[in-house]
Amino acid sequence: IEEPLLFERDSEGRCGVDLPAPPKAKNRLGTNARKGRIGLPGISEPEIVRHFTRLSQKNYAIDTGLYPLGSCTMKHNPRLNEKMARLAGFADIHPLQPVSTVQGALAVIDQLAHWLKVLTGMPAVAMSPAAGAHGELCGMMAIRAAHQAKGETRNKVLVAESAHGTNPATAAACGFTVEAVPANARGRVDLAALKAQLGPDVAAVMLTNPNTCGLFETEIREISDAVHAAGAYFYCDGANFNAIVGRVRPADLGVDVMHINLHKTFSTPHGGGGPGAGPVVLAAALAPFAPLPWVVHGKNGFEVLEKAEGAATQALGRLKGFHGQMGMFVRALAYMMSHGADGLRQVASDAVLNANYVLAGLKDDLTAPFEGPCMHEALFDDRFLKDTGVTTLDVAKALIDEGFHPMTMYFPLVVHGALLIEPTETESKATLDRFIGVLKALAAEAREGKVDKFRAAPTLTPRRRLDETSAARQPVLRWKPEEPARTAAE
């Protein structure tokens, strides 16, 4: 069934809310009152519930099936966390209430910070970044501020070739020039190349570990030592922290700064693209530069430092309004408390176990570019599709018709036609077995030359393949009313 746009519905003069009459009071708007209609449709509440319910049914989600997007960590989102975030004591407090009236909220921030610091071994954490990329921005700013405080001008940042696109984008947003560090044949950073690139102009090196090939950087200590010896800082992209949480502390690997995607490792929902939260843990050398606000212990409980003064004199400034993503903090803390120190270890173990099970199950049918074991995700390239006429994209779309969301495609860039599969710890063996079986069958069909089937896929979805090229060439980014002229002609 087709679902029209809200703006295309029968709507004459309806309203889905019932507002009280305004009291009589003087109009003090001044001379800038709105004139003319906005153009919003008026639709009844039942129709709106139905509209969005039907739209929701056009979505795939963790709640409907496996979502094996490598590097995105689509794990189960416990409903307890949702319930906790909606307690009036968290959801209905204003960010600028007197601090005496929000001590519990500040305690949540403080407790979450404590968990993050212990789990990473780092002495400080900046809580306000709103998402992973925002956390990267925060981390790179802290690095820049630290160099500036030392009177150093270092303008170059080395970024691993396999890095998420946000890494170079972030470095550029902070005014750095970016240089790629190549990968070696084992899918890790090429240590010799890195050493050659390091120098007095390098402010930082940005790596992901486990990296985006799903591999642990075996020479991580050698890397961090080299970075430090060169006077640079080691930024670790924390997107894959879920592979080692409770098992390995980034501080013990020589990491100076790392963001943590609460929506990946700590299960806050992805929400169709946000909101996220990206707290950043900082080594002692970078801690003084953490952005405002800071939550600190004071005489009368928690206090909030909102200006660059006192202990926060070197703070790098402010990254967003208010205190950060409180709603996400509550969810993440609920997750941590539910799992505990023991449960979080188990998370990492199960995530790695599941990924290796997929790798083992598929390595004979697909082609794995690097030797295992992998960490939380299994990487394949498209050599198994060679000469079949079928592409990575085709496989992904065919998977949709089998009832599964595709894996991450064409990333990381270091292998050709990448297929990056991350099952996460919350999937059962039965689900993985079914997924492996389907992929094996698809690989066989590709070998058998069923190109047409692949090209046509998906066929069982609300829409078939969409024309992205024309969408970008002639962008239609909003609904517009039909031209009055045309309406009149009809």
Partner 1 sequence: MLVAIGVPSVDALFRDVPKAAWRDEPFDLPPHQGELEVERALARLAAQNVPAGSVPSFLGAGAYRHHVPATVDHIIQRGEFMTSYTPYQPEVTQGTLQYLFEFQTQVALITGMDVANASMYDGASATAEAVMMANRVTRRSRAVLSGGLHPHYRETTETNARFAGVTIVAADPHPEADEDLAALIDDKTSCVVVQNPDFFGRIRDYSALAAAAHAKGALLVVVVSEIVSLGAITPPGEMGADIVAAEGQSIGNPLTFGGPHVGLFATRDKYVRQMPGRLVGQTVDADGRRGWVLTLSTREQHIRREKATSNICTNSGLCALAFTIHMSLLGEIGFTGLAEINHAHASLLAEKLESVPGVTVLNDSFFNEFTMALPKPAADVVEALVGHGVLAGVPVSRLYPDRPELKNLLLVAATETNTEADMDTFAAKLQEVLR
Residue 235 to residue 477: CA distance in whole angstroms: 36
Nearest distance from C-beta of residue 4 to partner 1, angstroms: 10
Residues that bind its own copies (CB under 8 A): 1, 9-10, 18, 44-47, 49-50, 53-54, 57, 62-65, 75-76, 78-79, 338, 403, 426-431
Strand partners, 484: none
10 versus 448: smaller Cβ distance to its own copies: 10
Strands 233-237 and 202-208: parallel
Give yes or no for a contact between 137 and 193, defined as CB atoms under 8 angstroms apart.
Answer: no
Nearest distance from C-beta of residue 222 to its own copies, angstroms: 39
Which of 350-356's residues contact partners 24+ apart within 8 Å by CB, and which partners? 350/425, 351/242, 351/243, 351/375, 351/376, 351/422, 351/423, 351/424, 351/425, 352/243, 352/376, 353/425, 354/423, 354/424, 354/425, 354/427, 354/432, 355/214, 355/421, 355/422, 355/423
Among 194, 213, 226, 326, binds partner 1 (CB under 8 A): 326
Among 200, 225, 298, 338, binds partner 1 (CB under 8 A): 338
Residue 11 as a binder of partner 1 (CB under 8 A): the answer is yes
30 versus 387: smaller Cβ distance to partner 1: 30
61 versus 193: smaller Cβ distance to partner 1: 61
Residue 209 to residue 207: CA distance in whole angstroms: 6
Nearest distance from C-beta of residue 192 to partner 1, angstroms: 19
**Partner that binds at residue 1, options partner 1, its own copies, none, CB closer than 5 to 8 Å by kind:** its own copies
* Cα atoms in the Cβ-side hemisphere of radius 13 Å centred on 426: 18
Q: How many CB atoms lie within 10 A of CB 300?
A: 8
Residue 3 as a binder of partner 1 (CB under 8 A): the answer is yes
129 versus 406: smaller Cβ distance to its own copies: 406
Residue 448 as a binder of partner 1 (CB under 8 A): the answer is no
Residue 337 as a binder of partner 1 (CB under 8 A): the answer is yes
269 versus 417: smaller Cβ distance to partner 1: 269
Give yes or no for a contact between 160 and 206, defined as CB atoms under 8 angstroms apart.
Answer: yes
Residue 352 as a binder of partner 1 (CB under 8 A): the answer is yes
7 versus 285: smaller Cβ distance to partner 1: 7
Nearest distance from C-beta of residue 444 to partner 1, angstroms: 19
